[in-house]
Amino acid sequence: MVSVPTHLVSADTEWSPLRSVIVGHAADSCFPTAPPHMIKATMPEEHFASFRPKNRFPASLLDRADAEVRQFVQILRDHGVLVYRPKAIDWFAEGGYTAAMPRDGLITVGNTVIEACFAWECRHREIELGFSEILADLEKDPVVRVVRAPKVERPDALYEGIRGFGQKDAVNGEVNGTHTVHSHEWAINNARPAFDAADFLRFGKTIVGQLSNVTNQKGVDYLRSAVPEGYSVELLDVTDEHAMHIDATILPLRQRLLIYNPERVSKRALQKLDLFKDWELHAYPYQPAPRENPPRYMTSGWLLMNVFSLDEKKVVVEAGDVEFAEYIRKLGMEPIPCPFQHVNSIGGSFHCTTVDLVRQGT
Ligand code: NVA
C-alpha cells in the first residue's frame, strides 16, 4: 500500500522511496547546438559534426527511445509512482534540443523546484516550453516554491575570453581530435550565473555538485541563494576536463552507500566532504563496454551509472548493463532492468530523463 504524499513537491535525497516524478519524452528532439569549443569540450569526438543547427535525430531512433520511455513509465506506475509528462514540443520548429532530459533543467530541493540557468542558449526555453504547465500545477500547493531562471540578455557573454571561442572550424569535420579545453579551463567564464541542475545531487540537507563546462562559480552561488533555508551546496573536486553533469561520476544507492567513477573523482576528494565521512565509497571496478549501435551521440559509456532509484533497494538499470546490475546486486540492491539504449543515444539515461518530485520521508 503506497502512502499519499502530503505535498506535491518534497524530495531531499536521490534514494528515499519515490512517490512522484516527471519523466521526459524523446519525440521531435534535435541535436543541440553550442559554440564549437563547447561541443569539443563536452561531446564525443566522433559525433562533433552532428551538432549543427536544425539537425534532427533519426525519427526511428526517437520512436524507439519513446517506446523505452513508455516501458520505464510503466515500471514506475507499477510501483505506485505518480508520473507527470511534459508537453509535446516540436524542437525543430523551436530551434531547441529535447524534452527528454528534464534533470538538466530542474532540481527539487525540499519543497522547492529550481530551474537551471542553462549555459547552452539552445536550452534557454526548454523548461518554459515543455514543463511550465507541470510547474504551474505544482505551484497550486501553497508550500511549493518554483524558482524560474532569470532571462539571459547576452548569451555569448559567457564565452568571451575563452580559448577557442569564435573559431568556426571545430564541428565541420575538420577536427583533429585535440581538445581546446585544458584541465580546469572550462568552456564558460563567470560572467553570469550558469548551471545545469544535473551537476548537482541531493544528500539530505547537503547538495553536492561540481564546477563543469556548463556550471560556473556564479551558478553555484545562485543555487546557494535559491535553496531553502537549512540546505547547503558543497563542491566536489573532479578530475574530468570534459565535466558536464555529475550523475555518471557519483551514484548514491542508499544512505551511506555510494559508487564513484574512479576516472573522474578520487576517494580522497570524496572524503574531503564531511558528509561522506561515514559512507561506504566504492570505486566502480569495471570499464563500460563500447557501443556503436545505437551510437551514444552525446555521452560516455559511464552512463551506466545514470540509474534511477525507486527506494533504498530497487534501482532501474539499463537492460544491457548486466555486469553493472550484478555489481550492485552484490551490494544488496535489487536492479530492475529496462531497455534504454535509444534514450541513451540522445543524451542520457534514467536519472537524466527524470525529475523526482516526492520522495517519502523527506
Ligand atoms: N557527460 C557525462 C555525464 C552524462 C550523464 C558523461 O558523458 O559521462
Beta carbon of 43 within 6 Å of any ligand 1 atom: no
Record the cell numbers describing residue 99, joined without a space: 524534452
Structure confidence by residue, pLDDT tens digits, 188-247:
999 999 999 999 999 999 999 999 999 999 999 999 999 999 999 999 999 999 999 999
pLDDT tens digits for range 37-71? 999 999 999 999 999 999 999 999 999 999 999 99
* CA of 42, closest atom in ligand 1: 1
Catalytic residues: 196, 245, 352
Sheet strands side by side (includes 106-109): 106-109, 112-115, 145-147
Does ligand 1 come within 6 angstroms of the Cβ of 247?
Answer: yes
- In this prediction, residues 253-270 reach a mean pLDDT of 98
Domains of the chain and any CATH numbers: 18-359 (3.75.10.10)
Give the per-residue pLDDT at 184: 57
**pLDDT tens digits, 67-115:** 999 999 999 999 999 999 999 999 999 999 999 999 999 999 999 999 9
Cα–Cα distance between 16 and 359 in angstroms, integer? 5
8 A C-beta contact, residue 5 and residue 362: no
Neighbouring C-beta atoms of residue 213, cutoff 10 Å: 27
How many C-beta atoms lie closer than 10 Å to residue 275's C-beta?
18
CA–CA gap between residue 32 and residue 97 (Å, rounded): 5
Instruction: Give percent of the chain above pLDDT 90.
Output: 91
Best substitution site from 300, 345, 346 to test ligand 1's pocket, by max atoms within 8 Å of Cβ? 300
How many angstroms separate the CA atoms of 315 and 308, rounded? 6
> Residues 1-23: pLDDT tens digits?
445 558 999 999 999 999 999 99
CB 264 within 8 A of CB 240: yes
pLDDT band at 168, cuts 50/70/90?
Answer: low
Name which of 344, 242, 339, 238 is nearest 291 in CA terms.
344
Q: Which atom of ligand 1 is nearest to the CA of 243?
A: 1
Q: Is the ipTM, as predicted for this complex, more than 0.90?
A: yes
Q: Would you say the CB of residue 44 lies under 6 angstroms from ligand 1?
A: no
The finding on whether 10 has its CB within 6 A of some atom of ligand 1 is no
Whether 250 contacts 270, CB under 8 Å: yes
Residues 248 and 275: their CA atoms lie apart, in Å, by 19
- Asked if the peptide bond before residue 53 counts as cis, ω within 30 degrees of 0, the response is no
* Average pLDDT of the chain, as a whole number: 94
Of the chain, the percentage scoring pLDDT greater than 70 comes to 93
The set of residues, in sequence order, having a beta carbon less than 8 Å from that of 96 and lying 6+ positions away, is: 30, 32, 89, 122, 123, 125, 126, 129
Task: Please classify residue 107 by burial: count the beta carbons closer than 10 Å to its beta carbon, then call 0-12 exposed, 13-18 middle and 19+ buried.
Answer: buried
* pLDDT confidence of residue 181: 41
Q: Is the CB of 300 under 6 A from ligand 1?
A: yes
Lowest pLDDT segment from 156-160, 165-169, 202-206, 283-287 = 165-169
For the chain, the residue count is: 362
pLDDT of residue 283: 98
Return the pLDDT at 182. Answer: 42
